[in-house]
Amino acid sequence: MSYDALDASRTQRTLTTTARLLLALHLDGPLFIGLCLLVGVGTIVLYSASGGNIAMLKAKALHFSLALVVMVALAQVPPRMIRIAAPWAYMTGLALLIAVMLTGDIAMGAQRWLDLGIVRFQPSELMKIAVPLACAWYLHERALPPSLPTTLALGIAIVIPTALIAEQPDLGTALLVAAAGGMVVLLAGLRLRYILCAIGLLIPLAYVAWKFLLHDYQRQRVLTFLDPQNDPLGAGYHIIQSQIAIGSGGVFGKGYLRGSQAQLEFLPERSTDFIFAVIGEEWGLLGLLTLLLLFMFVIGRALYLAASAQDTFARLASGSFALTFCVYVFVNSGMVIGLLPVVGVPLPLVSYGGTAMVTLMAGFGILMSLCAKRKLVSR
Amino acid sequence: MPRPVRIKDHHQELQLFERRALAAAVIMAIGFLAIVARLVWLQVVKYDYYVQESQGNRIKIEPIPPNRGLILDRHGQPLATNAPSYQLELTREQVPDLDETLLRLADLELIDARDIPTLRKEIRGRRAFDAVPVKLQLTDEELARFAARRHEFPGVEIVPRLTRYYPLGTSSVHAIGYVGAISEDDKKVLDLNEYAGTTLTGKTGVERAYERELHGKAGFQQLLVNAQGRRVEVAGRATADLVRKEPIAGNDLFLTIDHRVQKVAEDALQGHRGTIVAIDPENGDVIAYVSSPAFDPNLFARGLTRAQYIALTEDPNRPMYDRAVRGVYPPGSTVKPLFAMAALEYGVVTPTQTHFCRGTWSAPGYGRARRDWDLRGHGYVDMRKAIATSCDVYFFEIARLMGIDRMAAFLSQFGLGQPTGIDIPGERIGILPSTEWKKRAYRTNKALAVWFPGDTISVGIGQGQMQVTPMQLAHSVATIAARGKRYQPRLVRAIRDVQTGEVRELPPKELPSVKTSDPGIWDVAIAGMVDVANAPHGTARPYVMGTPYKMAGKSGTAQVFTVAITERMRKAAELAEHLRDHALFVAFAPVESPKIAVAVIVENAPRGGSAYASPIARRVLDAYLLTPEEFAAQEAKRKSAPAAKPAQNEPRGE
């Protein structure tokens, strides 16, 4: 046996070992790698966007470690248990939301946090996962496509937490929670005529929301989105500056650490919601296309896993996670490039922010648990 | 009716899910395509636009004002220089509340509360990102007062700047002029790009006339700024290629002024209102240019307070008023040599022809009888003696013989009644009366527009409506000295290019000469003027005799207030100071080859032109023509010797 052959067999063995480990942990290799790459990109860009802030890098690493632990842990939970836990998670989340409304901490002018002593916890984050799980649980035993009463029941189950979160006020999260629940209903095969009806209802509803429900700053965001030049130093500043950053990046970008918009602090919230613009400025169109392809790969892989899942609950819940992740990407990048109004939605896994990362990775952990190939083992 | 129970069909549900997932994937793909399309729009199509925007975002252009050129006297003595000082500058776009900031600056007594409206207008008139000076030349105490509270004034900064400094203070101020804060009117004529960083501009005198030479070319530098507009050195590695264009300093000016002579002239007029102009007859160079009282031009460069400005403008002695080119005076007898030459030129008399002066003069049709300044009369006088004794009767007679229009035509050749063309602004032209002039001057009142024969007689002794500026007077004397050759008076002799160090001499500008049919007539006039200073009967001899060079001169007294002469004599002492006559004296020397011509006017002098103005003229001539040692000796002698005794019963006004 030559050394080459020995070497090759060792490589083979190592690979097999990794694959075996992933399999044993019920983790999906391609999806796992995709997620790690996104966090890696986020870390590299964060170094530039934060102006070389090492403390933020360490924090991000810590967030990722914590999120990994949560993901791997959840991936080990048997799917059946997740299904059983789903309604309880939903009820708990709802109770906490009400608790926040009554007693919550006020941070950044919004009531979102619940102080649990050791950690501060955002119940709305829990709902991002609990709502789609509960919806999937509700539909699991029922015949699909869902009947009208079923659909209405689900609608109410989605609207209540959404309204509570929107009231905090946190329009971005409310939107994502509603989207996560809505995705389940759509994937369950909601009839087209219901969708058209809903759209028909939405228009007067939107009018009412505009008139009575939206906060001034939320209305301002929409107005500013429609015409950012109207208020270039106020609310329009974010949009104008982020478009300047992206546009001036051109095809190849200004180079890593050389984005003047970001480095000279013209770009606001460049480590969090507007990190997409930093990438656009420093890495150009090519950088953004690469990033978008990476996102599409992750979403596609997640959708593929969902489609190959064994039961309705798994399919609906996983599919919802995949599509909600996609909504994240659209809403964030759409906002940064001026296609959508400014809503506080971070770029998933790339933006700086611990809570969002843990929630996302928890979602993927559940997805991996539900979709893992364990024909003989579990069930 | 019970609803049909729907059986769960796992296969159909899977197909349904797959169709929905596929639809979602398609929608997702469309969404991604929309994002990519938008990115292509921003990063490819509109790339140039956004690059521009981002450049503008981070690069601020700051003007660098050039150093103003120096002003030196003819020997290189600095008259106007630049001195470092600190000023307070305000940038509107960085100030949270302009009105409130200005009020608080006034509370700190850094600006005058009454100046706030003007300042606000000034600041609003400039671009939001321009730094506008609100207080020039801070004193150390003011500097400390502001520095202690600096953090309370965002957008207001202490900036070191070179400001104009006039080391000799009030000396030569009317010739040099002064610089002051750029006004609305200045902005209409100045190139605002060139003056973006400049706070001061020439207001009067040479500072204004030669503004283009003195100012230089502004430079600029690009600064890297962050989103708050603060200057940063480097940010990450996002350094830009910053362009810096150095300013080009303004050129230095060499004046024709001789500071030594200027100083003597200024000292001589100390405590009087008056003016002295000395000109080099060979090229028109202005050797001394005095208007008294003067003021300190540093006040303007420093930024006047309202109180200082009011004090200056409301001073009854009018220190800001440039008497040398803007003051107009009846020349009195100082123009008699010119009329004498006119009479010879027109052949109405010969030099030796005598006329008997019995102290009064009258002629049919010429109105009331005229008195000579010396009622005792001068007896038989020829032209030379008429000039030397300043015999009014003789000049009444030749005026009658010539007629006003011939007198005016001849005198206009000497530049009277027209600008001399001196190279600073604001010159007045005085009045050279003629029938034509009177018609124009009184065109709204035909009754007054008629020339009366009596008018001619008054003009014959430099009175009546005749008015000259001291500059014109000095120029006419220089013209006599140069026997008709005329040079435009000038204050700037040469310009030194600061870049190359090269000194460019400006050629003297020759004006059309005085045309005389016989050069001999100059000799007669000059002989008369020499006698004024040297002959026993010369009016000024007691006061100026003993010059080491040969001096020619002519005294004059200009009436401010007309009273009958006998009464005037009686009341002279009682007349209010500002109603007293002006004492005039013109002179040039050395007679053989004249180097300097001077005109002296002392307003409301206690005594006449010979007695009061001629010694001053002589000191100026001494200062210029003698060596410094000789001059010092002369001065010492003058101080020890008692003032020349006036001739007995000397009447005022010769």
Give the model confidence (pLDDT) of A162-206 as tens digits. Answer: 998 887 777 788 889 999 999 998 888 887 888 888 788 888 888
**Across the interface, do B24 and A315 touch by the CB < 8 Å criterion?**
no
DSSP state of B609: I
CA dihedral A60, A62, A65, A66 (to 10 degrees): -110
pLDDT band per the 50, 70, 90 thresholds, residue A116: low
**Across the interface, do B35 and A258 touch by the CB < 8 Å criterion?**
no
Q: CB pairs below 8 Å between A and B: how many?
A: 158
**Across the interface, do A337 and B35 touch by the CB < 8 Å criterion?**
yes
DSSP state of B641: S
Residue with tokens 């460019």: B504
pLDDT band per the 50, 70, 90 thresholds, residue A113: low
Whether residue A343 has pLDDT greater than 80: no
pLDDT tens readout for residues A203-238: 888 888 887 777 777 777 677 666 666 666 555 778
Rounded to 10°, the helix A79-103/A123-140 angle is 140
Whether residue B218 has pLDDT greater than 80: yes
Q: CA angle, A216 as apex, A211 and A221 as ends, to 5°?
A: 100
More confident residue, B513 or B153: B513
DSSP state of B577: G
Buried/exposed B317-346: b ≥16 CB within 10 Å, e otherwise: ebbbbbbbbbbbbbbbbbbbbbbbbbbbbb
> Has this prediction a pTM greater than 0.80?
no
Question: Rounded CA gap, A97 and A90, in Å?
Answer: 11
Q: Which B residues 232-261 touch A at CB under 8 Å?
A: 232, 235-238, 240
- If 0-12 CB within 10 Å is exposed, 13-18 middle and 19+ buried, where does residue A320 land? buried
Residue B254: strand pairing partners:
B72, B494
pLDDT tens readout for residues B357-402: 988 898 888 888 888 888 888 889 999 999 999 999 999 999 999 9
For the ranges A224-233, A272-281, B482-491, B519-528, which has the lowest average pLDDT? Answer: A224-233
DSSP B104-125: HHHHTTSS-GGGHHHHHHHHHH
Contact B273, B603 (CB under 8 A): yes
pLDDT band per the 50, 70, 90 thresholds, residue B543: confident
Residues of A in contact with B31 (CB under 8 A): 326, 330
Q: Which of B292, B333, B476, B610 is flagged as catalytic?
A: B333
> What percent of chain B lies above the pLDDT cut of 90?
44
Strands (E) located in B175-281: 179-181, 200-202, 219-224, 244-245, 252-255, 274-279
**Across the interface, do A265 and B236 touch by the CB < 8 Å criterion?**
no
More confident residue, B638 or B206: B206
pLDDT tens readout for residues B570-598: 455 555 666 778 899 999 989 999 999 99
**Across the interface, do B31 and A330 touch by the CB < 8 Å criterion?**
yes
pLDDT band per the 50, 70, 90 thresholds, residue B42: very high
Residues of A in contact with B39 (CB under 8 A): 246, 280, 285, 288-289, 337
**Across the interface, do A244 and B50 touch by the CB < 8 Å criterion?**
yes
DSSP B341-400: HHHHHTTSS-TT--EEE-SEE--TTS-SPEEPSSTT--EEE-HHHHHHHT-HHHHHHHHH
DSSP state of B613: I
Q: Which residue does chain A place closest to B233, by CA atoms?
A: A264
Q: Shortest CB distance from B39 goes to which of A143, A285, A326?
A: A285
Phi, psi of B513 (to 5 degrees): -70, 160
Q: What is the pLDDT of residue A286?
A: 95
Q: Shortest CB distance from B17 goes to which of A246, A261, A307?
A: A307
**Across the interface, do B57 and A251 touch by the CB < 8 Å criterion?**
no
Q: What is the pLDDT of residue A3?
A: 58
Q: Which residue does chain B place closest to A307, by CA atoms?
A: B18
Q: Is B333 known to be catalytic?
A: yes
- If 0-12 CB within 10 Å is exposed, 13-18 middle and 19+ buried, where does residue A239 land? buried
Of A354, A311, A356, A355, nearest to A331 (Cα)? A356
Q: What is the pLDDT of residue B561?
A: 55
For A77-100, give the secondary structure using H, E and C: CCHHHHHHHHHHHHHHHHHHHHHH
Segment holding A7, helix H or strand E: helix A3-24
Phi, psi of B60 (to 5 degrees): -110, 135
Q: How many Cα atoms sit within 13 Å of B15 on the Cβ side? A: 4
Best-predicted range by mean pLDDT (B108-112, B185-189, B498-502)? B498-502
Residues of B in contact with A338 (CB under 8 A): 38
